[in-house]
């Protein structure tokens, strides 16, 4: 629930009485209480090893944001002139004085941190609990997540030397607890053999079967997505493989045979492994989420090279499902790549309230960096309507992270033919991120029509999401050899990503640049290329949620893609 006392008091201006090596310490981050759902199991053993991550203050993120907007806003003189890896790192690197201040403090305690992000803004520090307790004037404790029993070592507050303020942004993991992640699918029904007979067709008429079950042919017909194969091998569509869900090649083969008979069923995907991430091809290990993500990228973005990027568990054994670490490790990997994918789709997220604002901001800045390099970053908006992943009786709407990051494109869900908003499509307003300029007009128009509905349940000045939508209900997939119906914004995100990947392919074939960060385009020249969804709503927290309306709304964003209109809007 929102009222779980996760409010963070950052850099509380109170000088602690205690000192460390004669330095005055100041409380840097603190929780008021143990987050709901966790219990304390006493102090962590002093000899236990910890892997901490230290975020240093970057020297010029404002400059990077200006650059991102300049290369992503149609009509700007620099539109499409994406930054190189080195140019991005110049903005993101900490100043030498920050590096020196932190290094000096650590070495006075016999400790040595090593950079692990390409720009050097993140350091990793291996030490014992005793050492961590000393240098951050804290008490690391063991906590258990009640529902899953998962143990983690966290601190309810920690301090840093006053001399490090303005240099050391924050330390993780400390006050952000490892909550289980929310991800689709919302429903998953096995189908009896022979029930799924939909075939690809080149006709623009939407097959009648699409009212019951969505296949690639339905999406092609609904959105005018071309069936012809892409021609450019340079533009890769990346699929985030998180949470131990593995995409299976045999399932994809069976899916293509059944639902894309016009493509070779041996069309497959590449696998990239981050942190020893696996993609076990034993059919019993095939994940529904990963199979869905792969089948609706390979099966919709015809001929586009697709890479399943599978991220291993983080090295801290104490925190098995360290979702935040895996998001960060994925970004660290991609930012280090010379040629990252031009589209990246991710169908995972967690309630924003579970991640501290500094940590959320830092991760969001990694998306800003990749966007400036020219990658379109796409996230599912979440499947709990306005309640997010909270099944309890929420008293506030729950935004989903990373969808609320202003540098990603969040995709909500529609259902039916003709399309209406899907009830589970998460959307609303962030408490961590302010509304970015590119969406202010669209959101103000909605707020004027909404009137006072839901007042007090959401933060009207926050970044509003989702940005767009796509079908997300009753998708046919093959999982572990069985045809199933599944749904969620987990289906919408790869669908939208495929549309963008196909547009990129045509742009590159025409000698133009790929689209990169999409939102400044979507909210300006792209907006009229979307099918506006004006019916449906996303209930939750004992409310009807938000209604879809004409124009942007916090259920379906600007609407679903119209490929022919998008082609024109991007200048093809």
Ligand X SMILES: *[C@@H]1O[C@H](CO)[C@@H](O)[C@H](O)[C@H]1NC(C)=O
Query: Please, are residues 538 and 545 in contact by the beta-carbon 8 Å criterion?
Result: yes
* CB nearer to ligand X: pick between 397 and 496: 397
Which of 81, 233, 282, 437 binds ligand X (CB under 6 A)? It is 282
- For the chain, the maximum distance between any two Cα atoms, rounded to a whole number of angstroms, is 76
* CB nearer to ligand X: pick between 76 and 461: 461
Chain mean position to CA 478: 25
114 binds ligand X (CB under 6 A): no
Contacts of 46 (CB under 8 A, 6+ apart): 128, 129, 130, 133
Minimum CB separation of residue 393 from ligand X in Å reads 4
The Cα 57–Cα 98 span in angstroms is 7
Minimum CB separation of residue 284 from ligand X in Å reads 4
192 binds ligand X (CB under 6 A): no
**Residue found by looking up tokens 């529902």 in the block:** 147
The Cα 323–Cα 305 span in angstroms is 26
Which of 462, 536, 540, 557 binds ligand X (CB under 6 A)? It is 462
- 528 annotated active-site: no
| Residue count, binding to ligand X (CB under 6 A) | 10
107 binds ligand X (CB under 6 A): no
Which of 19, 104, 112, 461 binds ligand X (CB under 6 A)? It is 461
284 binds ligand X (CB under 6 A): yes
Neighbours of 87 (CB within 10 A): 14
244 binds ligand X (CB under 6 A): no
Q: Which of 65, 169, 289, 352 is catalytic?
A: 289
- 506 annotated active-site: no
Contacts of 384 (CB under 8 A, 6+ apart): 182, 390, 391, 398, 424, 426, 540
- The region of 81-89, 321-329, 372-380, 456-464 touching ligand X under the rule CB under 6 A is 456-464
Which of 433, 465, 517, 523 binds ligand X (CB under 6 A)? It is 433
455 binds ligand X (CB under 6 A): no
Minimum CB separation of residue 71 from ligand X in Å reads 24
- 490 annotated active-site: yes
Q: Which of 20, 326, 362, 490 is catalytic?
A: 490
Minimum CB separation of residue 235 from ligand X in Å reads 34
* CB nearer to ligand X: pick between 66 and 147: 147
Query: Please, are residues 53 and 125 in contact by the beta-carbon 8 Å criterion?
Result: yes
Contacts of 113 (CB under 8 A, 6+ apart): 54, 102, 103, 106, 123, 124, 125
* CB nearer to ligand X: pick between 259 and 407: 407
Minimum CB separation of residue 313 from ligand X in Å reads 18
Write out the DSSP string of 77-141: TTTT-PPPHHHHHHHHSBPHHHHHHHHHHHHTTT---EE-STTS-EEEEEEEHHHHHHHTT---E
Contacts of 287 (CB under 8 A, 6+ apart): 244, 245, 246, 247, 248, 479
Q: Which of 29, 293, 505, 532 is catalytic?
A: 293
* CA-wise closest residue to 407 among 268, 516, 546: 516
List active site positions: 289, 293, 490
Contact residues for ligand X (CB under 6 A)?
282, 284, 392-393, 431, 433-434, 459, 461-462
């Amino acid at each position: 629930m929102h009222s779980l006392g996760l409010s963070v008091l950052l850099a509380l201006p109170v000088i602690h009485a205690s000192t460390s090596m004669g330095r005055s310490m100041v409380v840097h981050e603190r929780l008021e209480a143990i987050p709901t759902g966790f219990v304390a199991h006493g102090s962590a053993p002093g000899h236990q090893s910890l892997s901490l991550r230290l975020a240093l203050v970057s020297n010029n993120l404002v400059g990077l944001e200006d650059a991102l907007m300049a290369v992503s806003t149609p009509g700007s003189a620099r539109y499409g002139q994406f930054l190189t890896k080195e140019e991005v790192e110049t903005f993101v690197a900490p100043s030498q004085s920050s590096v020196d201040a932190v290094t000096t403090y650590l070495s006075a305690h016999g400790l040595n941190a090593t950079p692990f992000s390409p720009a050097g803004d993140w350091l990793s520090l291996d030490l014992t609990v005793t050492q961590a307790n000393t240098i951050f004037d804290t008490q690391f404790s063991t906590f258990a997540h009640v529902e899953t029993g998962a143990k983690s070592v966290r601190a309810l507050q920690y301090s840093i030397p006053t001399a490090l303020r303005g240099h050391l942004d924050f330390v993780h993991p400390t006050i952000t607890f490892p909550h289980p992640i929310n991800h689709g699918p919302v429903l998953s029904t096995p189908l009896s053999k022979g029930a799924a007979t939909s075939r690809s067709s080149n006709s623009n008429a939407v097959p009648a079967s699409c009212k019951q079950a969505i296949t690639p042919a339905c999406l092609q017909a609904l959105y005018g997505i071309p069936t012809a194969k892409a021609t450019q091998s340079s533009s890769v569509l990346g699929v985030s493989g998180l949470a131990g869900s593995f995409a299976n090649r045999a399932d994809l083969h069976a899916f293509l045979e059944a639902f894309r008979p016009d493509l070779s069923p041996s069309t497959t995907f590449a696998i990239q492994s981050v942190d020893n991430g696996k993609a076990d091809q034993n059919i019993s290990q095939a994940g529904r989420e990963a199979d869905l993500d792969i089948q609706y990228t390979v099966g919709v973005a015809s001929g586009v090279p697709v890479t399943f990027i599978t991220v291993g568990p983080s090295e801290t054994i104490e925190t098995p499902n360290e979702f935040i670490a895996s998001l960060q490790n994925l970004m660290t990997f991609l930012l280090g790549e010379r040629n990252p994918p031009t589209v990246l789709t991710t169908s995972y997220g967690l309630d924003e309230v579970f991640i501290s604002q500094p940590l959320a901001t830092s991760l969001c800045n990694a998306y800003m960096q990749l966007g400036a390099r020219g990658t379109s970053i796409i996230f599912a908006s979440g499947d709990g309507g306005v309640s997010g992943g909270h099944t309890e009786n929420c008293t506030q709407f729950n935004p989903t992270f990373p969808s609320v990051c202003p540098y990603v494109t969040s995709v909500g869900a529609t259902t039916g033919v003709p399309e209406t908003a899907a009830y589970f499509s998460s959307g609303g307003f962030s408490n961590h991120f302010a509304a970015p300029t590119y969406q202010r007009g669209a959101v103000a128009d909605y707020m004027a029509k909404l009137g006072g509905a839901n007042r007090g349940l959401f933060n009207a000045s926050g970044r509003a999401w989702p940005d767009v939508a796509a079908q997300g209900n009753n998708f046919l997939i093959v999982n572990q050899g069985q045809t199933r119906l599944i749904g969620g914004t987990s289906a919408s995100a790869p669908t939208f990503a495929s549309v963008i990947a196909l547009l990129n392919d045509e742009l590159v074939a025409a000698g133009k640049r790929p689209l990169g960060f999409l939102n400044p385009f979507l909210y300006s020249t792209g907006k009229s290329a979307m099918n506006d969804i004006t019916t449906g709503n996303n209930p939750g927290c004992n409310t009807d949620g938000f209604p879809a309306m004409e124009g942007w709304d916090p259920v379906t964003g600007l609407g679903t893609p119209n490929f022919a209109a998008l082609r024109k809007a991007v200048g093809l």
